[in-house]
Amino acid sequence: MSPKTLYDKIWDAHIVDTQDDGTCLLYIDRHLVHEVTSPQAFEGLRMTGRTVRAPDKTIAVPDHNVPTTLDRLKGIDNPESKIQVDALDKNAKDFGIHYYPVSDVRQGIVHIVGPEQGWTLPGMTVVCGDSHTATHGAFGALAHGIGTSEVEHVLATQTLIQRKGKNMKVEITGKLKPGVTAKDITLSVIGATGTAGGTGYVIEYCGEAIRDLSMEGRMTVCNMAIEGGARAGLIAPDEKTFEYVKGRPHAPKGAQWEAALNWWRTLYTDENAHFDKVVTLKGEDIAPVVTWGTSPEDVLPITGSVPAATDFSGGKVEAAQRSLDYMDLKPGTLLKDIAIDTVFIGSCTNGRIEDLRAAAAILKGKKIKDGMRAMVVPGSGLVRAQAEEEGLAQIFIDAGFEWRLAGCSMCLAMNPDQLAPGERCAATSNRNFEGRQGRGGRTHLMSPAMAAAAAITGHLTDVREMM
Amino acid sequence: MEKFTTLTGIAAPMPLVNIDTDMIIPKQFLKTIKRSGLGANLFDEMRFTQDGKEIPDFVLNQPAYRNAEILVAGDNFGCGSSREHAPWALLDFGIRCVISTSFADIFYNNCFKNGILPIVMPREVVDILMEDARKGANARITVDLETQTVTSSDGKEFSFEVDEFRKHCLMNGLDDIGLTLEKAASIDTFEKSAAQARPWV
């Protein structure tokens, strides 16, 4: 048998049917659903008289629209947001799928809830109508975003019509230096490959620096595979993975656990398996980074300065100039001199407990700069509860942060948490697109520790100077 | 889904690279529970000022391109989120075909589910078609899915690649779910054997 990559193995284990032209029907083990990309799909089922084929494998949670203020159980003010969340409530009930409503402590961002509840397991196929489904690849699951037509297709058939992607290896060798995190790895990879570098590929992240990451760090890395153009990112499961999964509410137990473990231990890329593209970065070369522009590929070490449009070539010249204008930045300005007025810590990229610990470690005993608007939005109700138990919440509150309830919040600003035109935000989220956090708002992406440091100083800051 | 066979129409030039789904349809318009009506907000923040006035420089606001049915776009069109609202907004505006050097995977896939043909062409061809699109309303580009060709307004013909299955579905306006349900027996068989092999799933 020819050697296989991890992606090949998971793919092969899920093929229901292959057509002559190579188009496959792939079985889906877990379907995660949220309120924004599903209403039209459920409506489609109703119109055609179809049902959900595997309600036991379908898990729904509202996250994009939900307010994160403490009074949210009084209801949603925005009528359209309310309709979407109400529609998910009704659809979950009507079709009998697993559901975590806003009032449930387990509610949170779908990509945080899935792993937390043990829905996401190694070797699975996982889809969701959300591009950051790539997050679940951290468990060695083939996980990617789908559109609403495909959501309807999976609801009705528990399968997806797919063409196999190509294999790409991203290896991070060696050790990371102090102050450098999973977020810096994933942003640095995108900086090196560009936002289309992974288009058509499934990425497998490997190497010592990846192995050394916790499961939460691995989720941060895989989460942003899509920002590099790859629908899915994968990391081979290992003892850390099994340890993380064990005992979670929906993880296998007893004899099934042993059987699962036996299979999971076969989920790695065989020696000499073929990769169509290989990118290697040295862990020790990666610095704490920030984005300066309006594409996640606009990444520089915090010690750098704003580039000029003429530093680029081809179509990127116009795009870079547009970014500089939008971000109101002058070439040559030191990144550390860029003043900010808002800090957002949260999102499916960096809204887990370790992210909050990293930010709190910087903030402990300190105050945010006068006039700064800063908020922490935990990724789930359980993350929030744990942070309160560990005393992290009090550190954030004492420093001047707002301590919110779980949701996507200002990552995409579909709920009331938004930037006003011209406001500039240090954000731990995943996209710095124009208008992403609010029309005219300016986003600099970075790690939780870097965002915490910026909250204190009022400008982009090298966290290593505060450690 | 509406069939796509041939299309002759005005092409609008959008040379900017990395046009993302947040640009195509900003998040405030994702709160709908319908598929229709999004064309009014296509490219909203590029097309309108904050108080809703048209920005005259934006290509689709220019008289020559108001009825465009084709976009000729810069690299990596449709990057970002999985929102199918992006192709829904394009379709609702009247765009049936987008031509670029590259597309983001999820967006590319979503187009085929909605009767929109995304065409990948080499850079030199996109450059020629971009120039052609810049000629405005008198320049009409023809797209023929059957023969897999794009013909510029001055008769230059270029061929393109498309998956057989996707082409078949698009040309016949086929519903994917209906096709897959014809294979229900295979899905049953798979589920039975998977339940044996991986009972914990």
Shortest CA distance from A196: residue in chain B: B76
Shortest CA distance from B107: residue in chain A: A147
Q: Strand, coil or helix: what is A7?
A: helix
Whether B15 sits inside 8 A of A146 (CB atoms) is no
With contact defined as beta carbons under 8 Å apart, do B181 and B188 qualify?
no
B104 vs A19, A123, A229: nearest CB: A229
Phi-psi region of A466 (alpha: psi -120 to 50; beta: other; left: phi over 0): alpha
With contact defined as beta carbons under 8 Å apart, do B101 and B75 qualify?
yes
A47 sits in which H/E element:
helix A39-48
Question: pLDDT tens digits, residue range A336-374?
Answer: 999 999 999 999 999 999 999 999 999 999 999 999 999
Alpha carbon A277 to its chain's center = 23
Q: B161: Cβ–Cβ under 8 A, 6 or more apart, which residues?
A: B120, B148
Whether B18 sits inside 8 A of A195 (CB atoms) is yes
Q: Where are the beta strands (DSSP E) in B1-106?
A: 6-14, 70-73, 97-100
> Is the ipTM of this structure higher than 0.85?
yes
Whether A439 sits inside 8 A of B45 (CB atoms) is yes
User: Shortest Cα distance from B131 to chain A (angstroms)?
Assistant: 15
Q: Which residue has the tokens 């998910």?
A: A88
Whether B18 sits inside 8 A of A295 (CB atoms) is yes
C-alpha distances out from residue A63 to A42, A82, B2, B109, Å: 18, 12, 33, 25
Task: Read off φ and ψ for residue A402, nearest 5 degrees.
Answer: -80, 140
- Where do the domains of chain B lie, and which CATH numbers do they carry? 6-175 (3.20.19.10)
User: Shortest Cα distance from B35 to chain A (angstroms)?
Assistant: 7
Alpha carbon B32 to its chain's center = 20
User: For each of chain B's 201 residues, which pLDDT tens digit applies?
Assistant: 899 999 999 999 999 999 999 999 999 999 999 999 999 999 999 999 999 999 999 999 999 999 999 999 999 999 999 999 999 999 999 999 999 999 999 999 999 999 999 999 999 999 999 999 999 887 899 999 999 999 999 999 999 999 999 999 999 999 899 999 999 999 999 999 999 999 999
C-alpha distances out from residue A338 to A292, A332, A345, A434, B29, Å: 10, 11, 18, 18, 31
In angstroms, the CA A121 to CA A124 distance is 6
DSSP state of A287: -
Whether B31 sits inside 8 A of A36 (CB atoms) is yes
In angstroms, the CA A144 to CA A146 distance is 7
∠ Cα B34 B36 B38 (to 5°): 105
Strand order of the sheet with strand A58-60?
A: A98-99, A58-60, A30-33, A125-128, A142-145
